[in-house]
Amino acid sequence: MLIRGRLLREDQASTVEVQGGKISRIDRGRPAAGALGDEALVIAPAFIDVQVNGVAGRNVNAANVTASEIAAIPSHLHGSGAAMFCPTVTTGSAEQMIRSLKAIAEACRDPKVAHAIPGVHVEGPYISAEDGPRGAHVLQYVRDPDWDEFRRFQEAAEGRVKILTLAPERAGAIPFISKVAASGVIVSLGHTAAEPMHIDAAVKAGARMSTHLGNGAHARLPRHPNYIWEQLSKDELWMGFIADGHHLPPAVVKCFVRAKGLDRSVLVSDAVALAGMPPGRYAGEAVFGLGDPREVDVSPEGKISLAGTPYLAGAGLLIHRCVENIPRFCGLPLSDAVRMASPNPARLLGIHDRAGSVEVGRSADLTLLRWDADRQTLKVEATLVQGEVVWSA
């Protein structure tokens, strides 16, 4: 297969040749008859979203979630230009979380699903119990870190847990972080009300990331010090953040990216099962699982919140909308926005030897984008996974 378009940061069009699911050749400037695409398209590495709770009615955390439902999620993400994602298992009973992890592991027995899931993100249950930092996580299931329980999580996932979000102020969190980090799992700080000393200790123990920084936080904070400034100041921490226009104001996104730098910034969608659904009020179980008594509102703009509260309940927009917003919010080129959604998460996850770049020998996971620089609008024209066109506009 031949693909025609411009590579990021390059002005002239190139032809990318794909064979055996990998990029076999890149010819800069040479036209190719019958190639997919055109000289106005941008050929980018497909996006990697490290925080996806669900989409299009598919809920990673549903009480009765099955492997087939997990396996259906990638096809709903391809339209956003994503080829890989980390299914995100959130705070619940040990039994429910293990059920979700087992469903993911079973789904990954299909090689195509395994390719789409480079790791699992476990968000909770070792998070703050306070309103605000806890976000939409269910209070009754929030608890202190438990190494034996985490080992059961990892066993259920068949070793696929790659990211664990926790609050470092919980009892026993610091020695727990040391053990988790030593096991090769990325410890991410999130849903936390930590004091600066907790964050400092967590980083020294091996924490490497901040989960959706600026969200899962109090509505009002001390001017300084506070746990947002403290995490921004730690060069050791990667920053995950949601640039959908609902979770963070544009000025905050711009300041966060400037403070953390391009090398450590990772865009995430935090999409939930109601992402892409029509606006209206839904039963909370659509997001949180069977029997949850809360209700959730979906706005016409895709904002998802707990009914009657200012608290967000996940995101209704997918990763390409976050990519689209970065040039608008930060004054950065599209190439930098893509960097935060593909090369950077690939490096974070340790899969940059096979994903996250358009290079000979890499897996042909590509997204073809049409970018209007004047209007700053982005359209995904096609997504390829291992050289196969899995979605086209």
> How confident is the model at residue 171, as a pLDDT?
98
Q: Which of 156, 153, 152 is nearest to 107 (CA)?
A: 156
HEC string for 311-356: CEEEECCCHHHHHHHHHHHHCCCHHHHHHHHCHHHHHHHCCCCCCC
Q: Are 4 and 35 in contact (CB under 8 A)?
A: yes
> Does 374 participate in catalysis according to the annotation?
no
Residue 188 has pLDDT above 90, yes or no: yes
Q: Are residues 172 and 254 in the same domain?
A: yes
* Count of the separate structural domains present in the chain: 2
Tell me, yes or no, whether 337 and 382 share the same domain: no
Look at residues 109, 314, 294, 127 and name the one whose alpha carbon lies nearest to residue 215: 314
pLDDT score, position 285: 78
Give residue 313's pLDDT band: very low, low, confident or very high (50, 70, 90).
confident
| % pLDDT > 90, the chain | 87
> What's the pLDDT score for residue 69?
96
Report the CATH number that the domain containing residue 371 is assigned in CATH: 2.30.40.10
Distance (Å, whole) CA 56 – CA 356: 25
Same domain, 316 and 179: yes
Do both 300 and 178 map to the same domain? yes
User: Are both 33 and 64 inside the same structural domain?
Assistant: no
100 and 239 both lie in a single domain: yes
Residue 290 has pLDDT above 70, yes or no: no
Could you tell me the residue range of the domain that residue 265 belongs to?
47-349
Q: Are residues 96 and 62 in the same domain?
A: yes
Verify that 22 and 153 share a domain, yes or no: no
CATH number of residue 82's parent domain: 3.20.20.140
Q: Which two tokens stand for residue 115?
A: 């390719």
pLDDT for the residue 315: 93
Report the mean per-residue pLDDT for the chain. Answer: 95
Compute the average pLDDT of residues 16-38. Answer: 90
Please give the Cα distance from 110 to 71 (Å, whole number).
Answer: 8
pLDDT digits (tens, 9 = 90+) for 241-278: 999 999 999 999 999 999 999 999 999 999 999 998 89
The answer on 67 and 191 residing in a single domain is yes
**For position 126, what pLDDT does the model report?**
98
Q: Which of 244, 270, 336, 365 is catalytic?
A: 270
Find out whether 287 and 296 touch, Cβ atoms under 8 Å.
Answer: yes
